Amino acid sequence: MTSLETTSEPSSEEGHKTRRDFLILASAAMGGVGAASFVWPFLDSLNPAADTLAGAVVDVDISPVAVGQAITIMWRGKPVFIRHRTPQEIQEVRAVPLTKLIDPETDEHRVKKAEWLVVVGVCTHLGCVPSGQRPSDNKGDYGGWFCPCHGSEYDPSGRVRRGPAPLNLPVPPYTFLNDTTLRIGQQEV
């Protein structure tokens, strides 16, 4: 053999290194697949349930709701209070100075039509459902809603007036499709 000729046979050490690399790579891939099989169900459980997605948009016929009455509908698993307010209620809530409110917000900012109030009926303190939807319910000193859990009181605009609740009752996204139909879960475009 001349000095220019070389052999191209791999040494036994290089062969073991290649097998070792393959085993490490295959083990890492299987570990990744195994980890994903455990993580995916957990992440999938964080998605909204099918019944919640089904209630993402709710159309409500408000024509049978007389002035002074209120109805409750379910939207995304939460009660939504829809109140057909009286002219006196509207006048009273609009006369309240913002300095007297725990969470200052004008009534005009909370409604799209003065006579209709739409709020999520869940107390912002610890998530209880306030009373005040039925004529016989305790509406508190402000004529809106009273939370029986810890005594928070809301006015007919859904604004917190007394108690431990830090925020007003939330206003869900909604729009009026016409004079008698309200769509909850969709803003006006």
Select which of 16, 84, 109, 150 is catalytic.
150
Shared domain for 38 and 87, answered yes or no, is no
Same domain, 87 and 140: yes
pLDDT tens string for the chain (189 positions)?
555 555 555 555 555 678 888 888 888 888 888 888 888 787 777 776 666 555 588 899 999 999 999 999 998 889 999 999 999 999 999 999 999 999 999 999 999 999 999 999 999 988 888 988 888 888 888 889 999 888 899 999 999 999 999 999 999 999 999 999 999 987 665
Q: Is residue 29 part of a domain?
A: yes
Say how far apart CA 130 and CA 77 lie, in whole Å: 16
Tell me: do 43 and 68 sit in the same domain. Answer: no
Regarding whether 81 and 28 lie in a shared domain, the answer is no
Number of Cβ within a 10 Å radius of residue 155: 24
pLDDT, residue 4, reads 55
DSSP H helical ranges for 12-111? 12-45, 50-54, 87-94, 107-110
Cα distance between residue 117 and residue 188, in whole Å: 16
Helix and strand element counts for the chain (H, E): 4, 9
Same domain, 21 and 80: no
Question: How many Cα atoms within 13 Å fall on the side-chain side of residue 175?
Answer: 7
Q: Residue 33 has what pLDDT?
A: 86
Helix (H, G, I), strand (E, B) or coil at 80: strand
Q: Is 84 a catalytic residue?
A: no
Residue 5 lies in a domain: no
* Judgement on whether residues 23 and 61 belong to the same structural domain of the protein: no
Which domain, by its residues, includes 125?
51-184
19 and 69 within one domain: no
Helix, strand, coil content of the chain in percent (nearest 5): 30, 20, 50
Nearest Cα to 118, choosing from 165, 175, 162, 77?
Answer: 175
Q: How many residues would you count in the chain?
A: 189
One domain for residues 39 and 55? no
Instruction: Let me know whether 70 and 28 are in one domain.
Output: no
Q: In this structure, are 98 and 137 located in the same domain?
A: yes
CATH number at residue 69: 2.102.10.10
